[in-house]
Structure 1
Amino acid sequence: MSAQRLTREFSSLILLARNLQRELGEVRQTQALQRFPEANDLLGSALDRFAELEEKYNESGFLLFGQEEKEEDESQDNGDSANARDTPAAQAPAVAGESPESRPVSEMMMDLYVACARVTIGTTAVHARALARGQEPVAELALAYVATISDLMNGINKLLPHTAVQELIVEESLSNPMAATESAEKIAGALKD
């Protein structure tokens, strides 16, 4: 694999991470999320970690690949730099759907979870290729993204049953909210196992 392809894939990873970060910010700003302080805190923490990773990326930039490799790749560029969208990381779409304000929090959290899984797949490919090329700084940064996304996914997994049940209790005026709460506890327990 050429350094050029790795550079494109890493660029795609950064774009996906920024897209996910933007989606997290949009969900976090919704009125509906304010009713779920734990979910709000989880997304806030993830946004902070993404900002730290973005800062690390900006500090190192493409110098991670070595200036001579970058210059060599630029001189050999045969016009396929537009193919960055063809990399595995770039194939993961952003969170789809209508305006976050019009959707239940549980749906938004599910969509974020799926988006996280897709970004993780692309990030894993970048990590493996960076290791194969001996690009440790790139591999370390990709791994840091995976860790951040994994923590977010675990948090969503933990909160989702409770969020869905709270929405059911409020929106459907359940006659037995204790049964719904018990259901959320059992589902959360099953997800841990």
Structure 2
Amino acid sequence: MKKLSLAIALFLTVLSTQAQTKSIPNITAQAPDEQESLAKDYFSQIMGVAMSATSNVKLFQFVYDWIGTPYHLGGDTKNGIDCSGFAYQLYNKVFNTAIGNNSRNIFSMVNPVDKEELKEGDLVFFKIHSRAITHVGVYIGNGKFAHASSSKGVMISYLADPYWTRYYYKGGRLLNDQQPVQNN
């Protein structure tokens, strides 16, 4: 959250400075709804995902805060995390929902969803060099998903990237009795 707060403060400072020099309204004095709108614009730009009025800002804040965290098999902290640890932490903190502790357990908790039907917060599963599910990420919109990559740590990737297309298995949405709670 410190990284996010610093980024938003810097963003607001730059815009406030622009407001003073270019007659743009000073946004630091705006209402919370307007600040949330600015946050959505900010995350849309830095993550390349068009956020809608219903987008979950907390989801994007969480992803942004974890970007660059190194990969560590079995890890679940900012010192190192694996794909299922990242998905677990995200669902716990953003949706106040506990999910499984490995990609196969998590898959058992979802209803399959067609790739074209994916929504923010849905899970995406991959079978990388295996017949079993070996990787999980969280869909954030516009064909992108956040995940903990074994080579680059927590990052955002495109489902349409040839590598991910090759190993994509299915998307999934939590079963009705385990639906996440929106914590905006």
TM above 0.5, yes or no, is no
- Higher strand fraction (1 or 2): 2
- Higher helix fraction (1 or 2): 1
Q: Which has the larger Rg? A: 1
Point out which structure has higher relative CO (alpha carbons under 8 A, 6+ apart). 1
TM-score (norm 2): 0.25
